[in-house]
């Protein structure tokens, strides 16, 4: 690999000298883990990232660009995460704000197997936003969850996915739930995506079971199964992967961590997510509109030869506001709605009304 | 499982009413993900955690204890992480400050296969702190790294471990490095622990190769391979596991995340770490002395029938200050030293002097 991996950090510090010293500290911490002068100079040239740029940003922060010789310091996606944020996750005031991914790196990564075009083909919907409804709550029986699936399918919902906390609880064990819910959508155009998140071994069993039952996709939490397992699912499962950000919020600090559009956008897409769930602005979480826009852009923009992934905003989207979000985010969006449908007495009617709103909005 | 999992949160908020409302929000967010009154009352009793305590802590924060009915809402260790911090990782001002682990849960977890007693047996050292030296820097050839191993072994160092960023780079490919370094310690009492962190499949190959080469332990980064893979290594690898906190720092905010002693202490121990590397106070990172003490205590205290794990403070420990850390942390500690030895011209002599200091200090 001859191209370099350029990482832009935002550093919380007040003087240029301090910023330079912190950038140097990152360069050493993420590679040789030794102080200056404790290693041969040829290692400096070959291994330690180069400071390409350093500039003041706003009061109290600087922008530093380090470029890594990825062919010498990288290997798999775990080492990539390690280089980007491994040890410096333990230090305050460092934000990975942008990354320029070398084409050679992108060529080694699966990216979405389906992506926007593939999921459009699976659902048979060419020209409007998609609707995904979360199946909940945890604690309902498989039978009751399947009844909800049936109601949602009768309303023509595109995708029904398990809530990410619905795993293998006694109220709705995985195998039983899979069978009942898949039965409930049989003969309709609705796709049921079960949550397969599980420890190794069990994860493979659930993927195999989902495929055998006829599911075309699954829900998975990449930071629970680990980024390496996520990549492997993309390469081997043959199923569309909706990625859930469980545990990932810890990285999304304002002045510490990894920018949301990099972690949930670029990285989850590179690992093979066909759609990425994120908490929409104005819902139960605290993403800004700018973050949502940046995320949408990262999931859809040209990126090597990787397919575009669907943005899947959720986390408290009100069904009545979906038309407004369609205008804001565009047609290549899948909307995740849950609570605001379950508030209604008649789930099927509420979901059908929402589907109609989506179809109308798309024609505007 | 009849005992409940009691989780203590510290919430950043100013009034009791706000604290109560935020605790309720956590209870719903981590289980049903629905607003109040959108689910049957029997689900409230069976699934939604109960608020057991609510008390003001210091200005601007409250302590809330929620108890989860783990038999109904849990399943594997991924779902456990999901319950503890999955969705709320996306919300500011929530710290998982303590967890009371039910005995029934602990009984299902591997814990350390070796732990303090097992690693003492492997190293043949009954009565003093252990010394672990990091093999570095990234970029050296396998031959040069093996030379360093040989020097450290000649000094009687207990364990030599790969730096966590040394993976499978062209300068020192995994298989070659393993062979050379293991050769270098052959016939001595020094143990070489290679870094096996890798994507699934490759991880198993590296574990098998390490075992076949005669290694008795390995270095691994649990948050890169994922907590489920970590548990599986503890259950199946037969090797001692030194856990590295790469990527885990993001969770360790002062008012957001998971307290270090819970995540690096209890959780890494429950998942089967025989020793846990953490950044010592006064080094390159920012842990306080209180955090280090709390972590040491959590790794060693009685916890179900799980073995105690070695605290492995590192991240910039100066070789000359080790005696002082022995007095502070006690004999059941393994010290990770790196940079301050490589600063010296004669690595073997510097390491031998440190070993002598450790032996002397232990007799004080």
Return the percentage of chain A with pLDDT > 70, whole number: 99
Query: Tokens standing for B167?
Result: 């993976």
User: Is the CB of residue B70 less than 8 Å away from at least one CB of chain A?
Assistant: no
Q: CA A48, A87, B250: angle at the middle one, nearest 5?
A: 140
- What number is the average pLDDT over the span B174-184? 98
The bridge status of strand A257-258 relative to strand A217-220 is unpaired
Q: What band does A75 get if pLDDT is binned at 50, 70 and 90?
A: confident
Minimal C-alpha gap between A23 and chain B (Å): 14
Give dist(CA A331, CA A130) in Å, integer: 8
Residue A285 predicted with pLDDT over 80: no
Q: How many CA atoms lie within 13 A of A175 on its CB side?
A: 4
- For residue B233, pLDDT over 60 is answered with yes
> Which of A34, A89, A249 lies at the smallest CB-CB distance from B89?
A249
Query: Which residue among B78, B200, B285 places its CB closest to the CB of A90?
Result: B285
A 10 A CB-CB count for A20 gives 16
**φ, ψ dihedrals at B215, nearest 5°:** -70, 150
- Cβ contacts (< 8 Å) between B137 and chain A: which residues? 31-34, 38-39, 43, 47
Q: Mean pLDDT of all residues in chain A?
A: 96
Q: What are phi and psi of A213, to 5 degrees?
A: -75, -10
Interior angle at CA B314, CA B310 and CA B315, nearest 5: 150
pLDDT at B1 over 70: no
- What pLDDT is stored for residue A251 in this prediction? 97
Residues of B in Cβ contact (< 8 Å) with A342: 34, 38-39
* Residue in this structure with the two tokens 């720092």, named with its chain if needed: B249
Q: Could you read off the pLDDT of A297-314 as tens digits, one per residue?
A: 999 999 999 999 999 999
pLDDT confidence of residue A79: 97
Give contacts of A 94-133 with B, CB under 8 A. Answer: none
- pLDDT value at residue B37: 82
pLDDT at A282: 87
- Judging contacts by C-beta atoms under 8 Å, the chain B residues touching residue A43 are 137, 139-140
Asked whether the beta carbons of B219 and B182 are under 8 A apart, the reply is: no
- In whole angstroms, what is the distance from residue B94 CA to residue B106 CA? 25
A59 vs B55 pLDDT, higher one: B55
Q: What is the C-alpha to C-alpha distance for residues A28 and A25, in angstroms, rounded to an integer? A: 5
Q: Residue B43: list chain A partners with CB under 8 A.
A: 137, 139-140
Question: Which tens digits make up the pLDDT trace of B94-137?
Answer: 999 999 999 999 999 999 999 999 999 999 999 999 999 999 99
Is the preceding peptide bond at B93 cis, omega within 30 degrees of 0? no
> pLDDT value at position B285?
77
Within 8 A of B88 by CB-CB distance, chain A residues are 249
- Looking at residue A37, its pLDDT comes to 82
CA–CA min distance B363, chain A (Å):
31
Lowest mean pLDDT among A166-170, A265-269, A315-319, A346-350: A315-319
Instruction: With CB atoms and an 8 Å threshold, state whether B31 touches A200.
Output: no
What region, left, alpha or beta, does residue A272 occupy, with left being phi > 0 and alpha being psi -120 to 50 degrees? left
A201–B256 CB contact, under 8 Å: no
**A88 vs B: CB within 8 A:** yes
The answer to whether the complex's ipTM is over 0.90 is yes
Nearest-CA distance A3 → chain B (Å): 16
Round to whole Å and give the CA distance between A289 and A261: 12
User: By percentage, how much of chain B surpasses pLDDT 90?
Assistant: 94
Tell me whether residues A82 and B34 touch, CB distance under 8 A. Answer: no
Q: Phi and psi at residue A188, in whole multiples of 5°?
A: -110, 175
- Banded model confidence at residue A2, pLDDT cuts 50, 70, 90: low
| Distance between CA atoms of residues A256 and A250, nearest Å | 9
Whether pTM exceeds 0.95: yes
| Contact at CB, A221 and B32, closer than 8 angstroms | no
* pLDDT of amino acid A284: 79
Chain-chain contact of B221 with A72 (C-beta, under 8 angstroms): no
The confidence score (pLDDT) of residue B284 equals: 79
Single out the residue of A338, A341, A273, A337 nearest to residue A130, CA to CA: A337
- Please indicate whether, in this complex, the C-beta atoms of B165 and A33 are within 8 angstroms of each other: yes
Q: Which phi and psi (to 5°) does residue A198 adopt? A: -165, 170
Q: Closest CB to B165: pick one of A31, A199, A245.
A: A31
d(C-alpha B178, C-alpha B173), whole Å? 8
Q: Do B91 and A285 touch (CB under 8 A)?
A: yes
- Closest partner residue to A165 (CB to CB) among B31, B228, B245 is B31
| Residue B363 confidence (pLDDT) | 86
Contact check, Cβ <8 Å, B342/A34: yes
- SS3 for chain A, per residue? CCCCEEEEEEEECCCHHHHHHHHHHHHHHCCCCCCCCCCCHHHHHHCCCEEEEEEECCCCEEEEEEEECHHHHCCCHHHHHHHHHHHHHHCCCEEEEEEECCHHHHCCCCCCCCHHHHHHHHHCCCCCCEEEEEECCCCCCHHHHHHHHHHHHHCCCCEEEECCCCCCCCCCCHHHHHHHHHHHHCCCCCEEECECCCCCCHHHHHHHHHHHHCCCEEEECHHHHCHHHHHHHHHHCCCEEEECCCCHHHHECCCCEECHHHHHHHHHHHCCCCEEEEECCCCCCCCCHHHHHHHHHHHHCCECCECCCEEEEECCCCHHHHHHHHHHHCCCCEEEECHHHHCCCCHHHHHHHHHHHHHHHHHC
Sign of CA dihedral B339, B340, B341, B345: positive
Q: What is the pLDDT of residue A286?
A: 80
Inter-chain residue contact B137 with A34, CB threshold 8 Å = yes
B331 contact A CB<8A: no
Q: Does B314 touch chain A if contact means CB atoms closer than 8 Å?
A: no
The pLDDT tens digits of the residues spanning B310-355 come to: 999 999 899 999 999 999 999 999 999 998 999 999 999 999 999 9
The whole-chain average pLDDT of chain B stands at: 96
pLDDT by residue (tens digit) across B241-286?
999 999 999 999 989 999 999 999 999 999 999 999 999 998 877 8
What is the pLDDT at residue B2? 63
- Tell me if B139 and A31 make a contact (CB, 8 A cut-off): yes
- Nearest chain B Cα distance for residue A44, angstroms: 9
Closest chain B residue to A42 measured between Cα atoms? B139
pLDDT tens track for A189-240: 999 999 999 999 999 999 999 999 999 999 999 999 999 999 999 999 999 9
With H, G, I as helix, E, B as strand and everything else as coil, classify residue B56: strand
Residues of chain B with Cβ-Cβ distance to A197 below 8 Å are 78-79, 82
Q: Does B222 touch chain A (CB under 8 A)?
A: no
Backbone angles phi, psi at A275, to 5 degrees: -150, 145
Which of A136, A198, A343 is opposite residue B78, by nearest beta carbon?
A: A198
pLDDT computed for residue A300 by the predictor: 98
Q: What is the pLDDT of residue A184?
A: 98
Q: At what angle do helices B322-329 and B347-363 cross, to 10 degrees?
A: 30
| Structural contact between residues A11 and A64, judged by C-beta atoms closer than 8 angstroms | yes
Q: What is the pLDDT of residues A12-36, one digit of tens each?
A: 999 999 999 999 999 999 999 999 8
CA of A87 vs chain B CAs: smallest distance (Å): 5
Among residues B184, B189, B188, B206, the alpha carbon closest in space to that of B197 is found at B206
Query: What is residue A269's predicted lDDT score, i.e. its pLDDT?
Result: 98
Per-residue model confidence (pLDDT) at position A36: 87
Q: What is the pLDDT of residues A56-70, one digit of tens each?
A: 998 899 999 999 999
Return d(Cα A239, Cα A217) in angstroms, integer.
Answer: 5
**Which one has a higher pLDDT value, A316 or A280?**
A280
Q: B173: helix, coil or strand?
A: coil
């Amino acid at each position: 690999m001859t191209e370099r991996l350029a990482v832009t950090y935002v550093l919380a510090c007040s003087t240029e000298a301090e910023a330079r010293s912190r950038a140097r500290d990152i360069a050493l911490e993420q590679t040789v883990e030794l102080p200056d002068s404790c290693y041969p100079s040829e290692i400096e040239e070959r291994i330690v990232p180069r400071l390409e740029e350093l500039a003041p940003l706003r009061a109290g922060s600087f922008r530093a660009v380090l470029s890594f010789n990825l062919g010498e310091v990288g290997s798999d996606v775990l080492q990539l995460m390690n280089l980007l944020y491994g040890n410096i996750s333990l230090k305050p005031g460092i934000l990975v704000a942008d990354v320029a991914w070398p084409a050679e790196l992108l060529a080694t990564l699966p990216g979405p197997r389906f992506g926007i075009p593939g999921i459009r083909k699976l659902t048979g919907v060419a020209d409007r936003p998609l609707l995904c409804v979360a199946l909940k709550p945890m604690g309902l029986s498989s039978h009751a969850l399947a009844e909800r699936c049936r109601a949602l399918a009768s309303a023509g919902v595109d995708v029904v996915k398990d809530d990410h906390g619905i795993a293998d609880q006694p109220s709705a064990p995985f195998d039983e739930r899979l069978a009942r819910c898949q039965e409930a959508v049989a003969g309709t155009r609705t796709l049921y995506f079960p949550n397969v998140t599980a420890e190794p071994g069990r994860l493979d069993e659930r993927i195999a079971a989902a495929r055998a039952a006829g599911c075309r996709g699954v829900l998975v939490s990449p930071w629970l199964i680990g980024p390496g397992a996520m990549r492997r699912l993309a390469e081997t499962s043959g199923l569309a992967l909706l990625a859930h950000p469980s545990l990932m919020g810890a990285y999304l600090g304002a002045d510490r961590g990894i920018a949301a559009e990099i972690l949930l956008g670029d990285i989850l897409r590179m690992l093979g997510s066909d759609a990425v769930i994120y908490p929409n602005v104005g819902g139960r979480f605290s993403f800004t509109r700018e973050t949502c826009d940046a995320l949408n852009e990262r999931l859809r923009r040209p990126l090597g030869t990787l397919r575009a992934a669907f943005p899947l905003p959720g986390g408290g989207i009100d069904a009545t506001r979906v038309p407004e979000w369609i205008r804001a985010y565009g047609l290549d969006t899948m909307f995740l709605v849950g609570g605001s449908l379950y508030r209604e007495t008649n789930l099927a009617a509420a979901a059908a009304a929402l589907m109609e709103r989506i179809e109308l909005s798309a024609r505007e």
